[in-house]
Amino acid sequence: MSLDVSLRHRFEGFALDAEFSAPDGITALFGRSGAGKTTVVDAIAGLLQPDEGKVSADETVLLDTGRGIALPAHRRRIGYVFQEGRLFPHLTVRQNLAFGRWFAPRGAGGEDMDHIVEILGLGHLLDRRPGRLSGGEKQRVAIGRAFLSAPRILLMDEPLASLDQPRKAEILPYLQRLRTETRIPILYVSHSVAEIVHLATTVVAMSRGRVARAGPAAEVLSDPEAVPIIGIDEAGALLPATILGHDASTGLTALSVSGGQLQLPHIDAAVGTVLSLRIHAEDVIIATEKPTGLSALNILPATVSAIHEGEGPGAAVGLRSGTDRLLARVTRSSVRALGLAPGKPCYAIVNSTAVARSDIGGLEAGEG
C-alpha cells in the first residue's frame, strides 16, 4: 500500500504547497519547526480541510477537493500516535489494546493482537494499568492500539519527543520491527535526524511549506543540497553494512560496505548481521591520493559526486564509494586547494571511533 499526498493551503504569512508519496515502510516527514509538517498530517487525518488537495491510499480516495470528496476523519481509517500515549488510565494494557481492535471495521483484517504484542514486547505488561508503565512502555501500548484498529495509514507525530534518551533507545528497536514485519505505510513526523536514521526507509524533507527533497533515506541524508535543511552538525550518510567478523585481540569488528571494509569498535552482533551505519560528515576526511603513514584504519576509494558551498567558509562534498553515498564537511578553501569537482577520484578517510552505538541501526533490543 502507498499513500499519495498533494496539498495546497494558505494561512496568514504561510503557504503550504507539498506533494509526495509514502510507500510501505516508514516515511519520515522531516523539517524544522514551522516547515509545515503538522499542517500536512492534519490534512491527511481529516483534521484540516485544505484549500486544494488530494490524498489517496492506494485506490481509496480520502480527499479530492476537485471532485468534492472529503471523507470525515472517522471514516479515513487512519491511526494516529501523538507525543503522549493518551491511554485510558482505568483500563489495563490488554484492555487498551482491545479498544483499538474494537475500532477496526468489520472484515478489515489487520494485524493479529498476539503478533503486535510480540513485536512490541508487551506480553509481560498486559495486566498492568498505565500508571505502572514507563514513558516508553506507554508509547509502545499506544502504537499497538493504533495498529490494532486496522488503519490504512499510521501517522506518528513526534512520538518519542516526550521521552528521555534511554527511553528513546528502548523503543527504537520495536519500531524497527514494526517497519519490517507490517505492511502499513507509516508517516513519521520528526525533527530528529537520529530517529530518522534508525527508522526511515523514505525521507520527505520540508522547508517553508514545500518539499525540498524526497526519496530513499540514504540518498536524501547524503545529498549536499539537503544540508541546509538537515543542519551541518547533523549532516551525514547512511551506509548498509554486513558484519564480517570480530577480532578479540584488537576489540574491533570488521564490516563490509560496497566500497570496501570498515573497522569499528566491537559490535555485539553475529557475523552476517546487516546493519546501517550513520557516518557524520564532520568525521570524513578527503584525500586526493591514497594516504600512507596514518593511524586511520578506514580508507575507502571514492569519487566526488556533488559540492554544495554554504554562505560561510564551509562546504558539503558528496562522495560515491561503490554504490554507497558519503558526505564530507570541509572548507571552501579545501575544495579549491584539492581541486575537488564532480567526477574527481579521491579517498574518504573515516574515523573508526566516531561511529557511536547510537549511529548503528538494525540491532535488536539488548544488543550493542
Q: Tens digits of per-residue pLDDT, 221-263?
A: 888 988 888 887 788 888 999 999 999 999 999 999 999 999 9
> 3.50.50.60, 2.40.50.100, 1.20.1260.10, 3.20.19.10: which CATH number matches 236-361?
2.40.50.100
Per-residue pLDDT, 95: 94
Q: Give the containing element (helix H, strand E) for 345.
A: strand 345-350
Distances (CA, A) of 70 to 37, 84, 106, 335, 355: 20, 28, 22, 52, 47
Query: What do you get for the CA distance between the two ends of the chain, in Å?
Result: 33
Are 3-221 and 236-361 in the same CATH fold? Answer: no
DSSP-assigned states of every residue in 70-110? E--GGGS-EEEE-SS----TTS-HHHHHHHHHHTSPTT---
Backbone angles phi, psi at 180, to 5 degrees: -80, -35
Q: Is the separation of the CB atoms in 238 and 277 below 8 Å?
A: yes
3-221, CATH topology level: Rossmann fold (3.40.50)
Residue 348 pairs with which residues in a beta bridge? 286, 300
Per-residue pLDDT, 107: 59
Per-residue pLDDT, 110: 61
Query: What is the rounded CA–CA span in Å between residue 313 and residue 68?
Result: 51
What ranges do the domains of the chain cover? 3-221, 236-361
Planar angle of CA 33, 37, 39, nearest 5 degrees: 115
Per-residue pLDDT, 209: 94
Written as nine digits, the cell of 201 is 526507509
259: Cβ–Cβ under 8 A, 6 or more apart, which residues?
300, 301, 302, 321, 322, 324, 348
Name residues of the chain where pLDDT drops below 50: 365-368
